[in-house]
Structure 1
Amino acid sequence: MRNSRLTIIADENMPSVEPLFDDFGKVVRVSGRDLSAEQLIEADLLLVRSVTNVNEALLSQAKNLKFVGTATIGMDHLDTAYLDNRQIAYSNAAGCNADSVVDYALAAIYREAAIRKVDPKTLSYGVIGAGNVGGRLVARLEALGVNVLVSDPPKVKRIPSFIDTPLDELLQKSDVVCCHLPLTKAGAHPTYHLLSETELAYLKPDAIFLNAGRGPTVDGEALKAISHKQPDMTLLLDVWEFEPEVDLPLAARASLATPHIAGYSLEGKLRGTFMLYQQFTEYLGAMAGKQFSSILPLPEKPILVLDDTSTALDVINFLYNYDADDMRFRDSLSTDTALQRKQFDLLRKTYPVRREFSSLTLTGVVNDSLRHELHALGFNVEVKH
């Protein structure tokens, strides 16, 4: 296999596949949502995203397939038991876009806090799911000095010192609830509809509820019902239970609504492809000869000079226009379900370049409090004080 040219089937929306994988063989781009078994007849390597369900039906004619890589944190769209049975190696890109999702969550929270005219550092937080994304969010929130409760029962088994808060207690005590769960339907702790009518009833009447994990971990009908009973509740939603189909009334109820793009920073997308390149070269028993820096362009906005009027929200707004994301998404929604589904995928395919907080260096003169806050949020701070 190492000495032959491979046929590499890759999702059309995965960046930088050619510069990383061209040395191995011919890259063929495909629509991940519409990929068929016939397109994989000659495939040696398959690179996908979360929109492609990799299962027996899809791989029924892929007799040459040796490796499947998904440029995502989760693997709920891979039938790993089938892949194991076929002895097809597979890998994900765990953590590739975790910082991007955390940036999105913090931007959304700061946006809502400004609307409510409250200091986000005075709110209490609950994080459900402490994996790659949730764990990093907790770290940044703790760096901000806020009170954070975390619910992740499986983590207790892996890390006995981890303090797990019962879900009902977390929901009752938290002003802001952030859901960052993978989707699992089996095992000791399935997450499918983990938050349903019973659990959601524990939310504070004016809670801020954010879901940037997987849509089906929350019962959409139950969330819609409880949010209408509690008019002061705020919904910040990036994922949807039946996406690409979107529950239109639920989207209308949300204060911020986006098409599963929380992890769509340029760094996150490129890092996903690069991690699969590293894992595939390891599978081949070769050395990865290319560097991540070779595919990551310099940011268009590398520096922001602050003054004594600057706020953390000003800095976030300089780097990320979340209102534009929300507006584009709402403009795409249609009662024509087929059209709406197509528009959902088109928004993701044509998503504008967004850089992570860490790409921005802050200079200028600000007070110690703001300097600490910006550093905790994830920005590079070189300001004087």
Structure 2
Amino acid sequence: MSTPKVLITRKWPVSVEKKLQMLYDVTLNEDDHPMTADELRDALQHYDAVCPAVCDSLPADVINIDNKRCKILANFGVGYNHIDIEAAKQQALIVTNTPGVLTESTADIAMTLLLMSARRGAEGDRLVRAKQWRGWCPTHMMSSDVTGATLGLIGFGRIAQAMARKAHHGFGMKILYFKPSPADPEIVENLNATRCDNIEELLQHSDYVSLHCPGGETTRHLINEARLKLMKPTAHLINTARGDVVDSQALIKALQEKTIAGAGLDVYEGEPNVDEGFLALDNVSLLPHLGSATIATRTAMGGKVLNNLTAFFSGQPLPDRVV
């Protein structure tokens, strides 16, 4: 059997790329450019495996092509809403992901954004860099307390639970969560967490709201104008999930009108494009999708992809199969 041909759509940690090159006929994206739809279509026709990332859009019109050679999309990331899963099913195209290994680093970024938004960190940094700080005074840049405040989590999977643990045990925060069914009683007891019956209840009672639900049509604009109006005027919204979970225009309006106090965002609708409205606001902290961006985490994600490819090409059960 010939060595399988594998395409890596973006640059990965060097150690992982070297391991892949030892096992497969690998093509790397040397200049790390975002691949076009035509490049992805061509890849599906010429490679046995394609390893995309969240920045690679694989809708039906890319997947549904003739003369497809590719049998597996070994996704570099836990989220896969950039892949049309129904089209992949219809084309008998296997999809895998990388769950588990990015939990702590993404929860760390969510807590970072919560603290930045609460304590006006980004605004203060800009002030100092612009040489506009005039020195300490008792009423300068007063902000919100985190310790003892209430954190509401929409979604209660691994990342949300990790954030809850950091917030509760580290900052004494009270934890509310919403998910369709109750969480594991042991986890709930450890965090002294309370389940809300619906999102609306959670929004009304939280000082900080953090989003931890998957992207896609079912959650698109889950946080909209009506729901933002339910939040306290002193509350902050944190999003490290997917950009399309939040209606950007509604959030910009809420921040402009001080319907809510602030927001911290690591993801955006249509990223890497960021709505200009956010850039003009002082009460939003913006990060460039850094959730899993630690050396250890990204290396572990690459290792997960490697495990999925190894299992696939050896005919073994796939450890992280999505479809």
| TM-score normalised according to structure 2 size | 0.78
Residues 284, 7 of structure 1: alpha-carbon distance in 2 compared, 3 angstrom cutoff? closer
Residue 204 of structure 1 corresponds to 232
Deviation at 1:243, TM superposition (A): 1.6
Residues 27, 267 of structure 1: alpha-carbon distance in 2 compared, 3 angstrom cutoff? same
Distance 1:141 1:147 in 2: 8
Amino acid at match of 2:309: F
Residues 89, 233 of structure 1: alpha-carbon distance in 2 compared, 3 angstrom cutoff? same
Distance 1:48 1:64 in 2: 16
Deviation at 1:286, TM superposition (A): 7.2
Aligned counterparts, 1:19-38, within 5 A = 19-30=18-29, 31-34=33-36, 35-38=39-42
Matched, 1:146 2:170: no
Deviation at 1:139, TM superposition (A): 2.4
Amino acid at match of 1:245: N
Aligned counterparts, 1:37-52, within 5 A = 37-52=41-56
Matched, 1:168 2:168: no
Give 3-state SS (helix, strand or coil) of 2:147's partner.
helix
Matched, 1:81 2:86: yes
Deviation at 1:107, TM superposition (A): 1.9
Distance 1:215 1:127 in 2: 16
User: How big is the alpha-carbon RMSD for the aligned residues of Structure 1 and Structure 2?
Assistant: 2.4
Amino acid at match of 2:231: L
Residues 24, 175 of structure 1: alpha-carbon distance in 2 compared, 3 angstrom cutoff? same
Deviation at 1:230, TM superposition (A): 1.2
Which of 214, 223, 226 does residue 182 from structure 1 map onto? 214
Distance 1:70 1:213 in 2: 17
Which of 113, 117, 123 does residue 149 from structure 2 map onto? 123
Residues 223, 114 of structure 1: alpha-carbon distance in 2 compared, 3 angstrom cutoff? closer
Residues 285, 169 of structure 1: alpha-carbon distance in 2 compared, 3 angstrom cutoff? same
Which of 268, 284, 294 does residue 240 from structure 1 map onto? 268
Distance 1:39 1:223 in 2: 38
Runs of 4+ in structure 1 deviating by more than 6 angstroms, as ranges, are: none
Residue 134 of structure 2 corresponds to none
Give 3-state SS (helix, strand or coil) of 1:46's partner.
strand
Give 3-state SS (helix, strand or coil) of 1:249's partner.
helix
RCO comparison, higher one (Cα < 8 Å, 6+): 2
Amino acid at match of 2:151: Y
Residue 8 of structure 1 corresponds to 6
Deviation at 1:214, TM superposition (A): 0.7
Distance 2:41 2:144 in 1: 53
Amino acid at match of 2:205: K
Q: Is the 8 A contact 2:210 2:237 kept in 1?
A: yes
Q: Is the 8 A contact 2:239 2:267 kept in 1?
A: yes
Matched, 1:252 2:280: yes
Give 3-state SS (helix, strand or coil) of 2:168's partner.
helix
Residues 224, 117 of structure 1: alpha-carbon distance in 2 compared, 3 angstrom cutoff? closer
Distance 1:225 1:118 in 2: 21
Which of 280, 290, 293 does residue 264 from structure 1 map onto? 293
Q: Is the 8 A contact 1:72 1:96 kept in 2?
A: no
Q: Number of residues paired by the alignment?
A: 279
Amino acid at match of 2:154: I
Residue 129 of structure 2 corresponds to none
Amino acid at match of 1:26: D
| TM-score normalised according to structure 1 size | 0.66
Residue 71 of structure 2 corresponds to 66
Q: Is the 8 A contact 2:118 2:145 kept in 1?
A: yes
Moved more, 163-172 or 63-72: 163-172
- The share of aligned pairs that are identical, in percent, is 23
Residue 274 of structure 1 corresponds to 303
Q: Is the 8 A contact 1:97 1:265 kept in 2?
A: no
Give 3-state SS (helix, strand or coil) of 1:4's partner.
coil
Deviation at 1:56, TM superposition (A): 4.0
Q: Is the 8 A contact 1:10 1:29 kept in 2?
A: yes
Deviations 1:285-339 (A, max 9, x none): 379xxxxxxxxxxxxxxxxxxxxxxxxxxxxxxxxxxxxxxxxxxxxxxxxxxxx
